[in-house]
């Protein structure tokens, strides 16, 4: 499949205004994102889980083709309620919703529902996802008694177009996180790092997925920050700077590892969005097209000396 590009909204450095603060202005940006070569957009506003769900619904209403990657976490909404709401959003959008499960709430108010202990957090995520998938697929009500959730007569009468196959995105680096991601994730969001760091993490993720017979079903996404202007965000990403041709060459090196998607951070103003689409994304797609008949060996295209590919916030 061709490389895909996902827009990760941040905050503008001059006013620290959230991307979704003024939705009239956001609608203009969404049009530029949709027309500029991006296939997806992440919704992860710091206002909290319920706000994110409202924002995702608005983005789906205002766009025609963008997949909306909704940042979500367990503990705030009961699985039955969440399953109904998510299925409804996916159904109304024609199947353009993806669920991005994270372990830590984005909002301090939501943090009150966080269980203590790293392993316990991931156990709850695992049970939560098992229940969502069951609710999206079962044709009759069911009961469930688990470590974190109790359900009586759980049932979602109106399923989404994907049923239990709605895209799940996850990340993490610990053995516990990879074990859960290996069971559930369709897209794994990699931690930023050097070519070797990323390659090693991909191998660990594939091994975890192989335990569930899913090694060949995973796609990999890498967050990348492009330094073009004054935008600033708190997202962790591989830092790339220089002319668009240099940035595209660095991305080509990571694509050679088998990465399927680049999550572009740091392009939030209309000018930055348009430039990223017209130059960086177009250059990378053209480079990949020229090599489509070549044997694409992992790691074969190392970045040239002088390119900045340091992992940073």
* CATH at 112: 3.20.20.30
- Whether 244 and 282 have beta carbons less than 8 Å apart is answered as no
Q: Is residue 244 part of a domain?
A: yes
Q: Do the bridges between strand 67-72 and strand 97-101 make them parallel or antiparallel, or are there none, so unpaired?
A: parallel
**With the CA atoms of 291, 297, 298 and 303 taken in that order, what torsion angle do they form, in degrees rounded to the nearest 10?**
-50
Q: Is residue 48 part of a domain?
A: yes
pLDDT score recorded for residue 75: 86
The token pair at 157 is 């009468």
Q: Is residue 155 part of a domain?
A: yes
Q: Is residue 312 part of a domain?
A: no
> How many of the other CB atoms lie within 10 Å of CB of 35?
12
Q: Is 201 exposed, middle or buried (0-12, 13-18, 19+ CB in 10 A)?
A: buried
Query: HSE (CB half, 13 Å, CA atoms) of 262?
Result: 30
Per the confidence metrics, is the pTM higher than 0.85?
A: yes
Structural domain span for residue 288: 4-296
The candidate with the shortest Cα–Cα distance to 311, out of 194, 222, 199, is 194
pLDDT score recorded for residue 268: 87
In the DSSP assignment, the letter for residue 279 is: I
Q: Is residue 308 part of a domain?
A: no
- Whether 89 and 56 have beta carbons less than 8 Å apart is answered as yes
Q: Is residue 309 part of a domain?
A: no
pLDDT score recorded for residue 293: 52
The token pair at 46 is 């710091």
* C-alpha triplet 255, 102, 64: angle, nearest 5°: 65
* C-alpha triplet 118, 121, 125: angle, nearest 5°: 140
Q: How far is CA 181 from its chain centroid?
A: 13
For the chain, the domain total comes to 1
Beta strands (DSSP E) in the chain are 4-8, 11-12, 40-43, 67-72, 97-101, 142-145, 150-154, 168-171, 187-189, 219-226, 231-232, 237-240, 261-265, 311-312
Question: Residue 120: which residues within 8 A CB-CB, separation 6 or more?
Answer: none
Tokens 């709605």, residue located = 166
- Whether 161 and 144 have beta carbons less than 8 Å apart is answered as no
Q: Return the SS3 of 297.
A: coil
The token pair at 249 is 């060459």
Q: Is residue 302 part of a domain?
A: no
Per-residue pLDDT of the chain (313 residues; tens, 9 = 90+): 689 999 999 755 444 677 887 778 888 999 999 999 999 999 998 778 888 999 999 999 999 999 999 999 998 899 999 999 999 999 999 999 999 999 877 655 555 556 668 899 999 999 999 999 999 999 999 999 999 999 999 999 999 999 999 999 999 999 999 999 999 999 999 999 999 999 999 999 999 999 999 988 899 999 999 875 444 456 789 999 888 888 888 999 999 999 999 999 988 889 999 999 999 999 998 888 887 656 445 555 444 433 333 334 3
């Amino acid at each position: 499949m061709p490389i895909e590009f996902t827009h990760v909204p941040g905050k503008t450095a001059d006013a620290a205004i959230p991307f979704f603060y003024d939705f009239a202005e956001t609608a203009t940006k969404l049009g530029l994102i949709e027309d500029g070569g991006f296939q997806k957009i992440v919704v992860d506003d710091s206002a909290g889980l319920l706000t994110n769900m409202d924002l995702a619904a608005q983005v789906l209403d205002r766009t025609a083709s963008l997949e909306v990657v909704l940042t979500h976490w367990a503990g705030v909404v009961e699985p039955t309620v969440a399953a109904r709401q998510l299925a409804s959003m996916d159904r109304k959008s024609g199947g353009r919703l993806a669920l991005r499960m994270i372990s830590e709430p984005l909002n301090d108010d939501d943090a009150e529902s966080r269980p203590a202990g790293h392993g316990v957090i991931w156990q709850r995520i695992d049970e939560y996802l098992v229940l969502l998938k069951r609710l999206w697929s079962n044709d009759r009500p069911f009961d469930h008694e688990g470590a974190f959730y109790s359900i009586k007569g759980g049932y979602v009468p109106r399923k989404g177009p994907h049923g239990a196959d709605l895209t799940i995105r996850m990340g993490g680096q610990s053995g516990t996180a990879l074990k859960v991601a290996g069971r559930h994730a369709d897209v794994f969001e990699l931690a930023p790092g050097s070519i070797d760091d990323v390659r090693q993490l991909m191998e660990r993720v594939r091994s975890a997925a192989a335990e569930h017979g899913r090694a060949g079903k995973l796609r990999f996404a890498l967050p990348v920050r492009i330094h073009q202007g004054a935008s600033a965000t708190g997202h962790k990403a591989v830092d790339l700077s220089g002319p668009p041709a240099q940035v595209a060459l660095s991305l080509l090196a990571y694509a050679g590892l088998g990465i399927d998607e680049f999550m572009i951070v740091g392009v939030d103003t209309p000018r930055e969005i348009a430039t990223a689409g017209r130059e960086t994304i177009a250059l990378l797609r053209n480079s990949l097209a020229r090599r489509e008949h070549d044997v694409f060996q992992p790691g074969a295209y190392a970045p040239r000396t002088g390119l900045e590919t340091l992992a940073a916030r």
